[in-house]
Structure 1
Amino acid sequence: MSKILAFTNQKGGVGKTTSTANVGAGLARAGQRVLLVDLDPQANLTKGLGLSDAEQNVYGALLGEYPLKAYSLHKNLALVAGSSALSGFEKVKGDELDREFLLKDLLEPLRDRCDFILLDCPPALGLVTLNAYACAQALYIPLEAQLYATDGLEKVLDLVGRVQRRLNPDMKVGGVFFTRHDKRKVLRRDTAEQLRVQYPDLVLDTVIRESIALGEAPHLGKDIFSYAPQSAGAADYQALVAEILTR
């Protein structure tokens, strides 16, 4: 039975998609069977991994138009494509009974066929995100160590508490990790240390350093291990994968 991990943050631009792609690729390289699910209406995970012509996507599957389709990317790695139409998911399904469990029901038949399912969540804490939280065993929260960094984190943690009480008591926060990190910058270093003190059980040891290669890889439809396996970004995500596997 696969473990479902959701990469989430209320704040956009913090590396959710980059982390979903590269943790997924790293797990696949470690021999794990991995399914990525693009739940962000921007569909950047889908585009950034080179799948630009998918005829079937997660939105159509959630609406029951066709079965869930996973597109193979590499050995042990497959992707359920995203869609811009996800932005209207709440309007279409908002009044439906058990609307928070549509994704869970959709993924259930696939859970025996893979070891990990990774969900790339949208920045908005709406119905799509609730569906992700309702089926995830663990949330991983990428965070930039800068001013107001705790705002998005506190909103996620507040929602986590409510979801645990009402929808998914088994869900936990797997960890918080810093992205685009540069310890030479005083503000980022100080903010990181402050958050480690404030949330000692949540902040992971691994940090993802600022890396040009991490920004370049999606433009070529590649993960960091395929694009620049000797880069700092590859080393950091390899370390993050190893840390996730021990939690």
Structure 2
Amino acid sequence: MKVVSVINHKGGVGKTTLTANVGAGLAARGKRVLMLDLDSQASLTISFFTQSEWASELLPTRTIKHWYDGIGTPDAMRSPAPLITKPRRVLELLSHTGGYLDLIAAHRDLADVDTALAADLRGQPQLYVDLHSRLRDGLAHAALSEYDVVLIDCAPNFGLIAKNAVAASNLLLIPTKPDYLSTSGIDSLGMKIRAFVDEYNEHRNGSGGQISRPPAAVIFTMVQNLDGKPIETQRSVISRIEARGVPTFETTIRDSKSVYGPAPEHGVPVILGGTGRAQTRELRELVSEVSDQLDRTAA
């Protein structure tokens, strides 16, 4: 199983749209995919379930918050598998592919969980490895061995829960708008990830279970195209990032609110929905690139 985190500590860059479509695209190719929503805004969750379904069926007992709430208690679940839900609308479309797409939902109070865990860590620094390994250990549980890929939609911050995702990941995808403000945070994110991995391994103190910094690559999103290419101002930003040696995906995702905007309301990602022919084509090309990258990534 490969674990992929979609992460950027800047919001508004199309992170959730990317997660939903890459996950659905991999499932359409026969992969068994689990998506995990770690953002308290729950945009990924309500891209597959209606607000009322989320409120009545998931929020009471079946969100990732309930798994984190159990830390340090006798009732703590070792695996988050009991929280898995199946988005019905998507499963119908995937029924002939051999693949499927499952989800563990977010909770609106996840940010409070992040704050509480950070407070626990300040009071009990000896818990560093246990708290930061929580997701890594949970996803490695045999109860989740059926999945080929886990896709994690991270919140736009770099708190303790986001660090959990990094510690668990084999690959990081960094969706970024090709503009100055969006790309200026790439180096900052890279330094934070590097510092976290070093700190984590120091706490391991040679006891085994150390982690490597996951390979990461930028995916340019919300791109404005002209004659099939990004407009000049965005092309220059993309070229500057590539010139710095930052790994980037060749495929870019165009800005199309008319196509991407209504998709969550219907519970079906654009890549499966049959609308937006150009958008569907580039999403499939991106899924091919991600799939190739996963094949080259060590488990």
User: Higher strand proportion, which one?
Assistant: 1
* Superposed displacement of residue 225, structure 1: 2.5
Q: Paired residue for 1:58?
A: 64
**Contact (CA 8 Å) 2:270, 2:276: kept in 1 or not?**
no
**CA-CA distance at 1:105 after TM superposition:** 2.3
Paired residue for 1:198?
244
Q: How does 1:1-247 map to 2 (within 5 A)?
A: 2-50=1-49, 52=54, 53-54=57-58, 55-64=61-70, 67=77, 68=80, 69-73=83-87, 74=91, 75=94, 76-94=100-118, 95-96=120-121, 97=127, 98-109=130-141, 110-167=143-200, 169-184=211-226, 185-200=231-246, 202-211=247-256, 212-228=258-274, 231-247=277-293
One-letter amino acid of the counterpart of residue 179, structure 1: T
Task: Return the offset for 1:111.
Answer: 4.0
The whole-number CA distance in structure 2 between the counterparts of 1:246 and 1:225 is 18
Are the equivalent residues in 1 in contact too, given 2:177–2:183 (CA < 8 A)? Answer: no
Post-superposition offset of 1:66: 6.9
Residues 103-133 of structure 1: CA deviation (Å, up to 9, x unaligned) = 2222222441100000000001111111111
Is residue 62–residue 106 contact of structure 1 (8 Å, CA) maintained in 2?
no
Q: Deviations over 1:61-114 (max 9, x none)?
A: 122267521111224100000011111113322224121112222222244110
Specify the code of the residue in structure 1 equivalent to 2:244.
Q
Q: What amino acid does structure 2 have at the position aligned with 1:217?
A: A
Contact 1:27 1:34 in 2 (8 A): yes
Q: Which runs of 5+ in 2 are unaligned?
A: 95-99, 122-126, 201-209, 294-299
**Distance across 1 between alignment mates of 2:84 and 2:172:** 22
Does the CA-based 8 Å contact 2:259-2:276 persist in structure 1?
no
CA drift at 1:196: 1.4
Deviations, residues 6-30 of structure 1 (Å, cap 9, x unaligned): 0000100101111111100000001
The 1-side partners of 2:154 and 2:276 are apart by 28
Per the alignment, in what secondary structure is the counterpart of residue 204 of structure 1? coil
Runs of 4 or more above 6 Å deviation:
none
TM-score (norm 2): 0.77
Tell me the distance in 1 between the aligned counterparts of 2:213 and 2:3. Answer: 10
Give the alignment's Cα RMSD to 1 decimal.
1.8
Q: Greater share of helix residues, 1 or 2?
A: 2
Number of residues of Structure 1 aligned to a counterpart in Structure 2? 245
Segment of structure 1 superposing worse, 15-24 or 103-112: 103-112
Larger Rg: 2
Secondary structure of the 2:184 match is: helix
CA distance in 1, matches of 2:199, 2:280: 38
